[in-house]
Amino acid sequence: MNQPNTQPKRRKTSLKWKWAFFTSIGVLAIVVIFSGLLFNRFTNVLFQQERSHIDNTLSTVSSRLTNYASPLTKRDVAQYLKPKITNSNDQGTQADGNDLYSNSLIVNFSRDNILVNVYSVNGKELFESRKGTATFYSASKRKIFTTKHRGRQILVGVEPLLSKKNGSLIGYAQVTDQLDDYRATANKLLVILVILVLISVLLTMIFAYILAQELLRPINDIQKTINEVKSDPDSDARVPAFRSNDELTDLAELLNGMLDQTQRYIDQQQQFVEDVSHELRTPVAVIQGHIDMLLRWGKDDPEVLEESLKASLQETNRMKSLVSEMLDLSRAEQIEINYGEEITDVNQVFEQVYNDFKMIHPDFTFTFDDDTDGDVYVKIYRNRLEQVLVILLDNAIKYSTKRKEVHLSLSTSMAMVNIAVQDFGEGISEEDKQKVFNRFYRVDKARSRDKGGNGLGLSIAHRLIEAYHGNISIESSLGSGSIFQINLPIMKHLPSEEEIEKKAAPTSNGQSKDSGLTEGILDTSKHDEDTGSLNDDGHHRK
């Protein structure tokens, strides 16, 4: 016993949300990378500015203190690094040249995160610009580096002070930058960038969702149409036309075309079943009526018995013909699967069918116009081409009433061979011309039944020609006759004489291959079962 499916149904995730999510992820990655590069570049600029401040401060201190020839003392350093404040009330007192330069010291020393220290030759502190703790670093030349102090990164600049007079070492200048301004500015920038990233991702998700909803609207229409057709196969629901000319428009047109084609197939199938049922109902009823009559009393009457048997046999042959034509149509629909490399000489087949019909129908006048230069070869099974020609000629003879004349022509145009069969009979109306290739369709069903046939001949011919990449058309007018034209692609590379002779050579059982060119699909012993072939009595049937 089948166990019920207990697996929970997977929750569907909307394509719009997927689109919005993955778009946001992509934008997030791009914005984060861009923001990271921007943050790195900006902090590098800030860091270089801090290094520049330290370098300027070292240069200022060094330029003031290197005038001494002996090691520095606290008094010497204080004299040059502590700025002199000039009282504006003291008349006649002017700042010396050092006061102007001291202003630059005030600017450098006034930075909260800058600490300036001067050390003696043995590392003793001689000066500090503000209260703070600094570690002494010695160096043989000016050096600016980063280090950690109390768990925080700082920037330190050290320079040995060499006397301008004798070049001796007189002390050390050291500038320590706590990088407080740098960190504060970097943190502000980081917060701004994080906010911008979040806003951009949020806006991107909203925009992507709206855009996805708009772009996927055609898919919703397609899905709605498919559901309608699924619930009602006979529904004429179709995908509405889209204003955008894109891939979804092509998909909608393809789906509409497929639905139209499927609807045609459904209609044809229904019509096929109805027609077959209608066609078989009459002969089955006739046979059943005669058998019932024979069972009741007719078997004792020789005349009635003979008449019933003949009628039953006639109806049986009619059903046999119908089944044979249906089989031909089924085979014609599968030629594309079994398509081979068989080659047929059109001139040879055309001439053979022409001569056969001249012999069978001496009361008709047949005219044959061959406008080809030499033999024309096409890829088609020989007996299939013969079958199509027999169908058309049989049809022309059947509907020729007063003027018993049939014109045949064979010509080539570009890469196609054209076959035309013209009669001067009843003709076909414009309305019927669109339906003559449908299954079981007969222009005048009452007269067609009297003339024989089941309305499948032209449908078989149409399917055969299309299966071999050709086309068949009709031109007709009531009372003037009809012209059926067939176009088939010509072989680009004609077979050589050796290849033709090889195909025409007898096989191991002593039989040649279908008139020397191709072997037909059907066995020659069953040739009389094909539509449009010759009966045992020498007459064509359709």
Q: Which residue has the higher pLDDT, 284 or 494?
A: 284
**Whether residue 376 sits in one domain with residue 423:** yes
Give the global pTM.
Answer: 0.46
How distant is the alpha carbon of residue 3 from its chain centre? Answer: 40
Final residue in a domain of this structure, among 187, 218, 251: 187
Q: Is residue 373 part of a domain?
A: yes
Inside any domain, residue 216: no
Output DSSP code: residue 327.
Answer: H
Q: What percent of the chain has pLDDT over 70?
A: 74
What residue type is 106 in one-letter code? I
Residue 363 lies in a domain: yes
Q: 309 and 347: one domain?
A: no
Averaged over 465-474, what is the pLDDT?
Answer: 86
- With pLDDT > 90 as the criterion, what percentage of the chain qualifies? 10
The torsion of the CA quartet 490, 491, 495, 501, rounded to 10 degrees, works out to: -50
Instruction: Tell me whether strands 416-423 and 481-489 are parallel, antiparallel or unpaired.
Output: antiparallel
**pLDDT tens digits for range 96-148:** 444 444 456 666 666 777 888 889 988 898 888 888 778 888 888 999 999 88
**Measured distance CA(457)–CA(388) in Å, rounded:** 8
Residue 336: its pLDDT value, please?
A: 46
377 forms beta bridges with 345
Do 25 and 139 fall within a single domain?
yes
Evaluate whether residue 110 is within a structural domain: yes
Does residue 339 contact residue 296 with C-beta atoms inside 8 Å? no
Contact assessment for residue 403 and residue 372, using Cβ atoms and an 8 Å cutoff: no
Q: What is the pLDDT of residue 308?
A: 82
Q: Which of 311, 491, 472 is nearest to 412 (CA)?
A: 491
Query: pLDDT of 58-74, one tens digit each?
Result: 888 888 888 888 888 88
Same domain, 350 and 305: no
354: left (phi over 0), alpha (psi -120 to 50) or beta: alpha
- For residue 205 the two structure tokens come to 């998700």
Q: Which residues pair with 159 in a beta bridge?
A: 173
Residue 152, strand partner residues: 149
- CA-closest candidate to residue 429, choices 440, 443, 442, 441: 443
Range with lowest mean pLDDT among 33-42, 362-371, 467-476, 528-537: 528-537
Three-state DSSP class for residue 231? helix
- Beta-carbon count within 10 A of 285 CB: 11
Pick 23 or 504 by higher pLDDT. 23
Average pLDDT of the chain is 76
Check: CB of residue 326 under 8 Å from CB of residue 362. Answer: no
What is the pLDDT, as a whole number, of residue 431? Answer: 75
Q: Is 193 part of a structural domain of the chain?
A: no
The CATH number of the domain holding residue 141 is: 3.30.450
Residue whose tokens read 């000319």: 245
Distance in angstroms (rounded) separating the CA atoms of residues 471 and 462: 7
The residues, any chain, with a CB within 8 Å of residue 181's CB and separated by 6 or more, are 50, 111, 112, 113
357 and 311 assigned to the same domain: no
Q: What residues does 157 pair with on adjacent strands?
A: 144, 175
Name the most confidently modeled range: 308-322, 472-486, 527-541. 472-486
pLDDT tens for residues 358-387?
A: 888 888 999 989 888 888 899 888 878 888
Of the candidates 291, 311, 333, which is a domain's last residue? Answer: 333
Query: Is residue 346 predicted with pLDDT exceeding 70?
Result: yes
Residues 463 and 423 in one domain: yes
pLDDT at 524: 31
Decide which of 187, 219, 247 is a domain's last residue: 187
What pLDDT, on the 0 to 100 scale, is given for residue 48? 92
Band of the pLDDT at 156, cuts 50, 70, 90? Answer: very high
Asked if 324 and 346 sit in the same domain, the reply is: no
Domain that holds residue 57: 16-86+98-187
CATH number of the domain to which 349 belongs: 3.30.565.10
User: What is the rounded CA–CA span in Å between residue 114 and residue 57?
Assistant: 9
- Choose among 94, 110, 97: nearest CA to 57: 110
Torsion angle defined by CA atoms of residues 474, 480, 481 and 484, in that order, rounded to the nearest 10 degrees: -30
Query: What pLDDT sits at residue 521?
Result: 29
Asked if 377 and 475 sit in the same domain, the reply is: yes
When comparing pLDDT for 198 and 278, which is higher?
198
Pairing of strands 365-370, 405-413: parallel
Taking alpha carbons only, the member of 470, 460, 464 closest to residue 418 is: 470
Q: Is residue 439 part of a domain?
A: yes
* Nearest to 368, CA basis, from 380, 382, 379, 357: 357
C-alpha–C-alpha distance, residues 139 and 156, integer Å: 12
Q: Which two tokens stand for residue 298?
A: 């007719």
Pair 180, 31 in one domain: yes
Are residues 329 and 344 located together in one domain of the fold?
Answer: no
Q: Is 522 domain-assigned?
A: no
Task: Say yes or no to pLDDT of 9 above 70.
Answer: no
Whether residue 359 sits in one domain with residue 287 = no
Q: What pLDDT score does 95 carry?
A: 42
State the DSSP string of 115-158: EEEEE-TTS-EEEESSS--------SS-EEEEEEETTEEEEEEE
Judge whether residue 347 has pLDDT over 80: yes
pLDDT for 339 beyond 80? no
Q: What is the pLDDT of residue 7?
A: 57
Look at residues 517, 537, 507 and name the one whose alpha carbon lies nearest to residue 386. 517
User: What CATH number does residue 281 fall under?
Assistant: 1.10.287.130
Helix (H) or strand (E) holding 515: none
Closest CA to 487 of 394, 388, 358, 401: 388
Residues 354 and 413 in one domain: yes
Per-residue pLDDT averaged across 466-490, rounded?
87
Query: Domain count of the chain?
Result: 3
Has residue 65 been placed in a domain?
yes
Model confidence at 418, pLDDT cuts 50, 70, 90, reads very high
